[in-house]
C-alpha cells in the first residue's frame, strides 16, 4: 500500500510517500512559505530533486502542488493519484482524548479542534492540512497520529503539576509530553535490535534534536517524559530554555519591559544553547566555537549535557533501574562527543561507553562495552515510517 505521510506547519508542509510493503520512501519533500509566496522541494527516489517557486496562497494549493509533482510524468513516482491508498497526518496535540492514532472522521476532526487551544501554533495548521487533503483526495482514508498519544500512559504522579487541582479539572493544565511517535518508535526498535521483548525492558530514550526530550519507557509504555504542558519544559534545547523557575518570568518582564507572551517568546526562541552561547543553536557551530576557545559555547555544551544526565538519573530512579539508553534525533544520532559527555555522568549506573563503537553517525548501533550494566545505543528515529505503519494498521 502507498501511504502519503503529511506534516503540516503554519507556513510549511513536509511529506513522504512510503510503500508500506517495502517501507521504501518513494518521494519526499517540503513546501515552504505557504501563504507568503511558495517554494517546493521535491525529492523523488532515484530521480533528480526539483526545487521551484510555486504560488501557494494556502495549504490546499500546497497539497495540490505536492500531488501534481507525485504524479508528474517526469519527476513523479506514481501513475495516478488513485495509487495513494491512505494518508497519515502528524497531529501535535491530542489532549487526553487521544491515547492512540485514529481514523479521521468528521467527529474526530471536531475533537481535534477542541485541542486547538492546547497547541494554538500547531494543531490549527495540522487541521488545515487534513481538510486540504480531504478535499483533494475524497474517499481516501486518513489517519491522525498524535505527538502526545504515547505519553497518555503516564501515571497521575508524573503528569500532574503541583498546582491547584481545579486547573487540571477546569483548564486541562497537566503534563502531556511530545515527540511521542519518536519515543515509541525508538524504544520498540531498540528492543527489536537487541532481540528482546519491549515489555521486559526499562528504556530511557534521549531524543536530542533542535527540540529535545527524554522519555522513560517501562515495559513498552511511557511513564514519564521531560516536555510538559508545552514543549518548553525539560531539557535545555536549541533555542528553548527548558526548566526555569517560573518567578523568572515576572522578573525579566520588569527588567526588559515585556509582557508574559514577550517573555515566553524569549524562553522559546532566544534561549537554550543559542541564548547561552550567543553563537548558534546548532551543535556543530557550538563545537567549532568551543574548540576555538569560546567559553560561552563551551558552557552551553556543558549545561546541555548536564541537564540530560540529570533527567536520565531521575528516570532511572523513577523506574527503579534502566536496561537500555537510546540516543536519537540530530544530536543524539550524530554527535559522538555529546553522547560521550552525557555518558560520562552515568558511571554510577555501571555504564561504560566503547569509544570506538561510539564514533558512529546515523546508524543503529550499540555503543556501550560488553560488560556495561546498561546497554547504550544509537537508534535513528523515523517518525514518518512510524506514522505510515500506524496508518496502514488502522485502514487495512
- Catalytically annotated residues: 147
Stretch that binds ligand ADP, among 3-11, 105-113, 209-217, 292-300 (CB under 6 A): 209-217
CA distance 145 to 147: 7
Which residue, 101 or 334, has its beta carbon nearer to ligand ADP? 334
Q: With the CA atoms of 380, 384, 388 and 390 taken in that order, what torsion angle do they form, in degrees rounded to the nearest 10?
A: 70
Q: For residue 240, what is its C-alpha cell?
A: 528553548
First to last CA, the chain: 9
**Which of 284, 291, 373, 396 lies at the binding interface for ligand ADP (CB under 6 A)?**
284
Judged on CB neighbours under 10 Å (0-12, 13-18, 19+), 317 is: exposed
Minimum distance from CB of 335 to ligand ADP (Å)?
Answer: 4
Stretch that binds ligand ADP, among 17-25, 65-73, 133-141, 206-214 (CB under 6 A): 206-214
CA distance 266 to 98: 31
Minimum distance from CB of 317 to ligand ADP (Å)?
Answer: 27
Site for ligand ADP in 332-391 (CB under 6 A): 334-335
Q: Is 282 in the site for ligand ADP (CB under 6 A)?
A: yes
Stretch that binds ligand ADP, among 45-53, 57-65, 203-211, 341-349 (CB under 6 A): 203-211
Q: Is 330 in the site for ligand ADP (CB under 6 A)?
A: yes
Which residue, 38 or 272, has its beta carbon nearer to ligand ADP? 272
Q: With the CA atoms of 342, 344, 346 and 347 taken in that order, what torsion angle do they form, in degrees rounded to the nearest 10?
A: 170
**Number of Cβ within a 10 Å radius of residue 163:** 11
Which residue, 100 or 284, has its beta carbon nearer to ligand ADP? 284
Residue pair 289/279 in contact (Cβ under 8 Å)? The answer is yes
CA distance 276 to 278: 6
**Which of 331, 351, 374, 395 lies at the binding interface for ligand ADP (CB under 6 A)?**
331
Quick check: helix, strand or coil at residue 95? coil
Q: With the CA atoms of 310, 316, 320 and 326 taken in that order, what torsion angle do they form, in degrees rounded to the nearest 10?
A: 170
Which residue, 334 or 368, has its beta carbon nearer to ligand ADP? 334
**Which of 9, 44, 129, 211 lies at the binding interface for ligand ADP (CB under 6 A)?**
211
Residue pair 112/143 in contact (Cβ under 8 Å)? The answer is no
Q: Is 308 in the site for ligand ADP (CB under 6 A)?
A: no
Contacts with ligand ADP: how many residues (CB under 6 A)? 13
Q: Which residues bind ligand ADP (CB under 6 A)?
A: 209-211, 238, 281-284, 329-331, 334-335
Amino acid at each position: 500500500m502507498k501511504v502519503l505521510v503529511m506534516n503540516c506547519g503554519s507556513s510549511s508542509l513536509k511529506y513522504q510517500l512510503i510503500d508500506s510493503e517495502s517501507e521504501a520512501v518513494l518521494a519526499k519533500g517540503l513546501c515552504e512559505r505557504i501563504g507568503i509566496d511558495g517554494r517546493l522541494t521535491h525529492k523523488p527516489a532515484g530521480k533528480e530533486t526539483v526545487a521551484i517557486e510555486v504560488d501557494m496562497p494556502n495549504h490546499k494549493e500546497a497539497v495540490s502542488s505536492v500531488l501534481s509533482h507525485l504524479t508528474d510524468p517526469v519527476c513523479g513516482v506514481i501513475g495516478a493519484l488513485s495509487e495513494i491508498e491512505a494518508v497519515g497526518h502528524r497531529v501535535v496535540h491530542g489532549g487526553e482524548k487521544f491515547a492512540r492514532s485514529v481514523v479521521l472522521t468528521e467527529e474526530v476532526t471536531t475533537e481535534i479542534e477542541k485541542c486547538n487551544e492546547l497547541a494554538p501554533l500547531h494543531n490549527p495548521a495540522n487541521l488545515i492540512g487534513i481538510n486540504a487533503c480531504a478535499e483533494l483526495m475524497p474517499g481516501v482514508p486518513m489517519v491522525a497520529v498524535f505527538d502526545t498519544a504515547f505519553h497518555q500512559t503516564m501515571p497521575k504522579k508524573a503528569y500532574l503539576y503541583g498546582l491547584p487541582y481545579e486547573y487540571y479539572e477546569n483548564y486541562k493544565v497537566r503534563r502531556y509530553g511530545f515527540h511521542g511517535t519518536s519515543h515509541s518508535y525508538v524504544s520498540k526498535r531498540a528492543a527489536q535490535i537487541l532481540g528482546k521483548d519491549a515489555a521486559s525492558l526499562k528504556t530511557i530514550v534521549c531524543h536530542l534534536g533542535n527540540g529535545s526530550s527524554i522519555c522513560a519507557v517501562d515495559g513498552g509504555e511511557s511513564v514519564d517524559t521531560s516536555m510538559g504542558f508545552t514543549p518548553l519544559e525539560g531539557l535545555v534545547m536549541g533555542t528553548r530554555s527548558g526548566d526555569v523557575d517560573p518567578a523568572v518570568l515576572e522578573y525579566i518582564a520588569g527588567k526588559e519591559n515585556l509582557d508574559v507572551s514577550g517573555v515566553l517568546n524569549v524562553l522559546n526562541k532566544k534561549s537554550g544553547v543559542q541564548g547561552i552561547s550567543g553563537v548558534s543553536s546548532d551543535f556543530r557551530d557550538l563545537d567549532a566555537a568551543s574548540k576555538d576557545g569560546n567559553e560561552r559555547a563551551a558552557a552551553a555544551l556543558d549545561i546541555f549535557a548536564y541537564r540530560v544526565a540529570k533527567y536520565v538519573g531521575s528516570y532511572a530512579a523513577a523506574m527503579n533501574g534502566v536496561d537500555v539508553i537510546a540516543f536519537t534525533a540530530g544530536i543524539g544520532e550524530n554527535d559522538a562527543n555529546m553522547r560521550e559527555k552525557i555518558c560520562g555522568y552515568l558511571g554510577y549506573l555501571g555504564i561504560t561507553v566503547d569509544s570506538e563503537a561510539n564514533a558512529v553517525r546515523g546508524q543503529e548501533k550499540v555503543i556501550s562495552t560488553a560488560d556495561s550494566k546498561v546497554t547504550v545505543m544509537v537508534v535513528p528515529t523515523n517518525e514518518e515510517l512510524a506514522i505510515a505503519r500506524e496508518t496502514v494498521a488502522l485502514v487495512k
